[in-house]
Amino acid sequence: MEAFWARIIEPSGQPGLNYWEYFAERLAQLSNIFNSSVILDLGTYDGNVLIKAMKKMKTFGYGVGADNYFGGFKDGVADVLEQGLDEYVAFVQTDASALGFLPETFQTVLANFIGWDDCFDFERMEFINSNLMMAEIMRVLRPGGQVGIGSWVEQSDIDWIISAFKKYLPGHGNNITCYSKENPEGQKVILQNSGFEDIQVYVETRNFVLPGAEIWWQQMRQLAGEYFKQVSDPDILESFKEQVLIDLEQFHYPEGIRFSKTVSFAFGSKPV
């Protein structure tokens, strides 16, 4: 699954809290980033993680944001200029499974929500394809360098709307995946299999809020867009919406519609 698949969505959050921003900040906070480090951010999109990682340094090193989709680079460059990091950050369009960097270039490699389900089955806990991305990460890391990855364990809002489709519109959206649902045990296996040491995993659940049902519905139309595309009759979709919004009342709190998101962050070090 592409790293950038959902970053086009306007994020939700507690008042003032954006969940993409929040989990980007958490990955950077948990990572071992030292002054003057050289950092690679895979699946960077607009450099959200990269900028936060760079700001951990009192003395800037250099950061590279890499993605095979360049749609977010314009916003990323604007943010970099605003933060005064233009001398220290670059964006590169490249494939994470065939990075064009020399061996042992980076001290830290970060990869938030890039999805590992193309090479690893998280239900059966086994590899289904060669893990080219992690092999490349190991290659470009310096000895003693750290990789940090973030994965969705659960997005309860997306899971709930999918269950509503199955309940009220059976047959629409069978076998469609809206995000790569992963787990900390699988992350450990991926890192261990690639030869990383000192593996640490952190799991965090956080509630996020949207101010009203209509805004929540519009976000679900994007986050679960592949399901909505299966419904071509507007009358059926409107009837579905009415039923869903009735059921949605159970998640309505004074501050708005509340759902939780759970993320697992895993870190490993390249042997010296």
Residue 212 has pLDDT above 70, yes or no: yes
Spell out the residues 6+ positions from residue 149 whose beta carbon is closer than 8 angstroms to its own. 110, 111, 112, 114, 116, 187, 191, 265, 266, 267
Compute the distance between CA of residue 91 and CA of residue 97 in angstroms, rounded to an integer: 17
* Cα→Cα distances 130→117, 121, 126, 209, 219, Å: 11, 12, 11, 38, 34
Average pLDDT, the chain: 90
pTM of the predicted model as reported, rounded to 2 decimal places? 0.88
Residue 238 reports pLDDT greater than 50: yes
Domains in the chain, start-ordered, CATH in brackets? 19-155+180-209+262-269 (3.40.50.150)
Residue 58, judged by CB atoms within 10 A of its CB (0-12, 13-18, 19+), counts as: exposed
Predicted confidence band at 12 (pLDDT cuts at 50, 70, 90)? very low
Q: What is the mean pLDDT of residues 237-262?
A: 94
Q: Report the candidate in 125, 224, 129 with the shortest Cα–Cα distance to residue 176.
A: 224
